[in-house]
Amino acid sequence: MKGSYVSTEFSMNVADEIRRLGKQVDLFWKKESELYLSLGLASHIRILEVGSGPGYYIKKLSEIFPEASFTSMEMDSSFVEFQRTLFSEGLVDKVKIIQGNLEGLPAEVTGYDLIIARLVIEHVQKPSEIVAELTHLLNENGKLVLIDNDFENHLRTFPRIEELNQLYKAYCGQRLEEGGHPYIGRQLPVLLRNSGLEDIHFDSICVHSLIEGSDLFLGAESSAVGLMLVKKGFLSKEIFDALSRKWSEMITHSDHLLMRELYYAVGTRGSGNRQLQTEEKTSSNFASNSPGETLPPLNSVEDWSAILWYYLENIEKPEVLDEINKQELVDCDSFDLGIDSLAVVDLSVWLEKNYSIKIEITELLQASTVIGYLSSSSEITSSNSNIDSDHGEI
Ligand SMILES: C[S@@+](CC[C@H](N)C(=O)[O-])C[C@H]1O[C@@H](n2cnc3c(N)ncnc32)[C@H](O)[C@@H]1O
């Protein structure tokens, strides 16, 4: 199944893409190596990297885990060829290379103490299925590490370059169209939780040019990514030109800086008894009324007190009624009634469903009294749309 990473779509030149991926490993390695060293892993472990690219990451891992054995799984033949050369010096006996798609792993690929998917899950079509597959390949107490981008929090510079927002918007547009997940960074711990992993950790891996050096940052970027977006029609030439100029000005500024984040999540496979989890669905009760209850009618603006009282008592906020009485209700604003930005949406859906009244959320939250706002809003709605609700004329 095709995902959103094909080396020739990221660059016009595979050698340039291999170089970029290598620098991207170097850029984050200091922090990422600390992550692996903190996991408390034994020395003779079996490590699988899926979507291993040119193999630079495994080379780095072999330096901090010299006794480990590795499986490198990669689908791109140019990268696999590059890996064979890279590993030929000193790592031939330690790394088993498998060329293939991780959406159909061979049966012998199993029994790992550490599995890593770095900048891969964002490119596969069905992340949850892949994460579930990878979880099954772990030994008991084995760890799965996912590292990905979230393109809403990507590269930042000083001086600021506004066009970077358009570049990443275009980038995300293309990846989404191809079936990728450019905002998946935030979802990584949930993917691990849903596949039954335990003891989940999550954090960002943030690097800064003042610490890492600008050269490392610049090496990890490539104008080829932007050019491919122009070529495919996702980014205009004008934006690309403006971006290139501002990028060059930024670099020459004496206080220039670059900052970038990746996100990681780590989970551990327990004893195997744990059921797969799915996110608990919290179903809001706003759309339904209490069983057997009859809604108060709305015949005149005065009826709003009864309706709001009914709503608070039966649907949303019974606790606030311990502190106010029906007479006081007319003087209350939304904060007095505990109607916050979430509750106001529930109220608006309930009013529309039951009374065909549309409210403006900001207006209700700002109104000096909720009843005053509802009364005037029902007049507006009825005069605009001639609503003749089931509950009587307004
Ligand atoms: C952005 S690169 C990251 C490479 C490497 N993990 C790194 O961090 O440098 C993504 C890699 O995942 C590989 N990939 C994407 N989808 C894959 C799949 N379904 N099966 C195997 N490899 C895949 C791509 O070919 C590419 O080498």
Strands (E), the chain: 46-50, 69-74, 95-99, 112-118, 138-148, 156-158, 198-208, 257-268
The reply to whether 262 falls in a domain is yes
Tell me the CA–centroid distance for residue 293 and ligand 1, in Å. Answer: 57
Tell me the CA–centroid distance for residue 30 and ligand 1, in Å. Answer: 21
261 and 368 together in one domain? no
116 Cα nearest atom in ligand 1: 6
The reply to whether 390 falls in a domain is no
DSSP string, 225-285: HHHHHHHTTSS-HHHHHHHHHHHHHHHHSTT-EEEEEEEEEEEE--SS-PPP--PPP----
pTM equals: 0.84
Determine the Cα–Cα distance for residues 312 and 356; give it in Å rounded to an integer: 18
3 Cα nearest atom in ligand 1: 16
For residue 189, whether the previous peptide bond is cis, meaning omega lies within 30 degrees of 0, is no
The reply to whether 165 falls in a domain is yes
The reply to whether 275 falls in a domain is no
pLDDT at position 251, please?
A: 95
Whose Cα sits closest to atom 4 in ligand 1?
Answer: 53
257 and 310 together in one domain? no
Domain-ending residue, one of 249, 268, 287: 268
Tell me the CA–centroid distance for residue 101 and ligand 1, in Å. Answer: 10
Return left, alpha or beta for 53; rule: phi > 0 is left, psi -120 to 50 is alpha, else beta. Answer: left
CB 157, CB 164: distance < 8 Å: yes
pLDDT at position 299, please?
A: 84
Q: Is the CB of 105 under 6 A from ligand 1?
A: no
- The total number of residues shown for the chain amounts to 394
Whose Cα sits closest to atom 11 in ligand 1?
Answer: 51
Q: Give the mean pLDDT per block of 10 residues along the chain (394 residues).
A: 70 86 97 97 97 98 98 96 96 96 85 98 97 96 98 96 97 96 98 98 98 93 90 96 96 97 97 55 48 78 89 82 85 90 91 92 94 84 50 36
233 and 354 together in one domain? no
Tell me the CA–centroid distance for residue 90 and ligand 1, in Å. Answer: 23
The reply to whether 367 falls in a domain is yes
Q: Is the CB of 51 under 6 A from ligand 1?
A: yes
pLDDT at position 7, please?
A: 74
Tell me the CA–centroid distance for residue 336 and ligand 1, in Å. Answer: 54
The reply to whether 285 falls in a domain is no
Tokens of 117: 């998917």
49 Cα nearest atom in ligand 1: 6
∠ CA(193), CA(194), CA(198), 5° rounding? Answer: 30
Q: Is the CB of 154 under 6 A from ligand 1?
A: no
Tell me the CA–centroid distance for residue 3 and ligand 1, in Å. Answer: 10
183 and 240 together in one domain? yes
Mutate to test the pocket of ligand 1, among 75, 145, 175, 205 (most ligand atoms within 8 A of CB): 75
State the residue range of the domain holding 236.
7-268
Tell me the CA–centroid distance for residue 63 and ligand 1, in Å. Answer: 21
147 Cα nearest atom in ligand 1: 8
Tell me the CA–centroid distance for residue 142 and ligand 1, in Å. Answer: 22
182 and 59 together in one domain? yes
323 and 249 together in one domain? no
CB 197, CB 268: distance < 8 Å: yes
Whose Cα sits closest to atom 27 in ligand 1?
Answer: 53
Determine the Cα–Cα distance for residues 130 and 299; give it in Å rounded to an integer: 57
Whose Cα sits closest to atom 17 in ligand 1?
Answer: 51
DSSP string, 355-376: H-----HHHHHH-S-HHHHHHH
pLDDT at position 232, please?
A: 93
Tell me the CA–centroid distance for residue 325 and ligand 1, in Å. Answer: 63
Determine the Cα–Cα distance for residues 225 and 301; give it in Å rounded to an integer: 60
> Domain of 175: which CATH number?
3.40.50.150
